[in-house]
């Protein structure tokens, strides 16, 4: 696989706490949303692909059924929002709200 985040894919990602992983995924989702709002489909898709890559790295490192279940549903809903029919009726605001909690938690811990 050709990774965009090569240094993270070689093992550094697994060293990050889960909250930081989720905040980083959220950063890429935020970029995808911003480019989508500017009608730049190519940049939005690239940012979303990077978010999926980070999500997959997280899924590879996760232990525990509950977290795995949440992440797989999250991935499904994100793909549906960006490339599907949005059957889960997600909104930009709902994605920002979801991921902002992780960013807040990471910043609070520093």
Cβ atoms of 46 and 29 within 8 Å: the answer is no
Average pLDDT over residues 51-75: 91
Counting residues of the chain whose pLDDT is more than 70, the rounded percentage is 90
Identify the pLDDT of residue 109: 77
Indicate the pTM of the whole model: 0.88
| Integer Cα distance of 71 and 69 in angstroms | 6
Contacts 24+ apart (CB under 8 A), 55-64: 55/25, 57/5, 57/8, 57/9, 57/13, 57/14, 57/21, 58/13, 58/18, 58/21, 58/22, 58/25, 61/13, 61/14, 62/18
Helices H, strands E: what count in the chain? 6, 0
User: How many residues are present in the chain?
Assistant: 110
């Amino acid at each position: 696989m050709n990774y965009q985040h090569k240094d993270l894919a070689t093992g550094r990602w697994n060293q990050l706490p889960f909250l930081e992983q989720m905040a980083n995924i959220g950063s890429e989702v935020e970029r995808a949303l911003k480019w989508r709002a500017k009608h730049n489909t190519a940049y939005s898709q690239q940012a979303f692909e990077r978010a999926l890559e980070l999500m997959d790295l997280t899924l590879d490192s996760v232990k525990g059924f509950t977290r795995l279940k949440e992440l797989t549903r999250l991935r499904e809903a994100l793909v549906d929002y960006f490339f599907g029919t949005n059957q889960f009726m997600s909104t930009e605001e709902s994605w920002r709200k979801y991921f902002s909690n992780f960013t807040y938690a990471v910043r609070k811990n520093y």
